Structure 1
């Protein structure tokens, strides 16, 4: 399976890295310029490649990290997003109990859902725990939180996240 990553954050880079370790092909694009990520992905090659937005959006599962100021115009310019699973990566959360129960009112989630009506939208949150690993190279199964209204997409993202060594936790209403 091919994974698309558009936009760079610590979470999208970690997802690309873990996906490459699980033998997924990853096409990554940074709309702000791909020169910024060339060094970061060198150790992930050949599974992770820099590509165009068009190449990244050919994947069935696409992770986005786009600043909200650019989001609407960027989404309107995307080619053929019908049937795609679009995963919006969020900022770090320090305590998942503090999340608002109605995350659907979040600005980015609403915009993406309204503009990509032919896609399934999932919101993904990266928890931040202030603790260190015994060995920084050890791959630890980390908790990661997600939300979606689409039951089939929920199953697909759970399976994928488990394969790349996350512990997916659905945030339900």
Structure 2
């Protein structure tokens, strides 16, 4: 199974580090092109290569690690998915300009972290991402923990828990195998309609909760 990562920010880069640490090959991409990733590729080693967004999106398993505000534009510009697996690592938050009034908004409990929630009405993030990737098998994963611990699966004598959810059993099995290969303990939250809501930052009941399997 080939792996592609769309997005080289905090999520994409730390996931690539986790894959490299486990010796798993992947192609990482961003909007600026492969040349912009030269220093990062030198850091993580030969199992990770830089590619275009289109090259990353052609993999068997594609991780969406872009900012929420960019997701529709990036994903809708790509070719047909034809049953490939898309891991939705996004969360519906918007980054705040530190010099704007939003940065000190007393009604925003997330202002201290430099973000604010995007109002999705009665929908949840993977429900919307699924519409951006018609024909893909969507699995929600790698989104509910601090991205800085994605290359630290072992802690306190146990394994960090990573949640995943989706509607296709075979796709979920592949993602579970990937989670376990990177050293995490995988926990299935069920369908997207159930797990997608539970684990989505910032207000999902299981978001930002770090469980350890001892």
TM-score w.r.t. length of structure 1: 0.75
The answer to whether the Cα contact below 8 Å between 1:127 and 1:143 also exists between their aligned partners in 2 is no
Q: Once the two structures are superposed, what CA deviation does each residue of 1:115-136 show, in whole Å capped at 9, x if it has no partner?
A: 322101111223249xx9xxxx
Structure 1 residue aligned with 2:132, among 115, 125, 136? 115
Alignment-derived partner of residue 162 in structure 1:
180
C-alpha displacement at 1:52, in angstroms?
0.6
- Where do 1:125-144 residues align within 5 Å? 125-128=143-146, 140=154, 141-144=159-162
> Between Structure 1 and Structure 2, whose CA radius of gyration is higher?
2
C-alpha displacement at 1:161, in angstroms?
0.8
C-alpha displacement at 1:24, in angstroms?
2.3
Alignment-derived partner of residue 16 in structure 1:
16
In the comparison of the two structures, how many residue pairs are matched?
155
Alpha-carbon distance in structure 2 between the residues aligned to 1:169 and 1:157: 11
- Where do 1:77-96 residues align within 5 Å? 77-90=77-90
The answer to whether the Cα contact below 8 Å between 1:11 and 1:126 also exists between their aligned partners in 2 is no
Alignment-derived partner of residue 97 in structure 1:
none
The answer to whether the Cα contact below 8 Å between 1:27 and 1:48 also exists between their aligned partners in 2 is yes
Q: Once the two structures are superposed, what CA deviation does each residue of 1:114-169 show, in whole Å capped at 9, x if it has no partner?
A: 1322101111223249xx9xxxx976132211221211111111111101111112
C-alpha displacement at 1:33, in angstroms?
5.1
Q: Secondary structure at the match of 1:158?
A: helix
Structure 2 residue aligned with 1:150, among 162, 168, 192? 168
Q: Secondary structure at the match of 1:144?
A: strand
The answer to whether the Cα contact below 8 Å between 2:75 and 2:132 also exists between their aligned partners in 1 is yes
TM-score w.r.t. length of structure 2: 0.62
C-alpha displacement at 1:14, in angstroms?
2.5
Alpha-carbon distance in structure 2 between the residues aligned to 1:152 and 1:31: 30
Alpha-carbon distance in structure 1 between the residues aligned to 2:80 and 2:47: 24
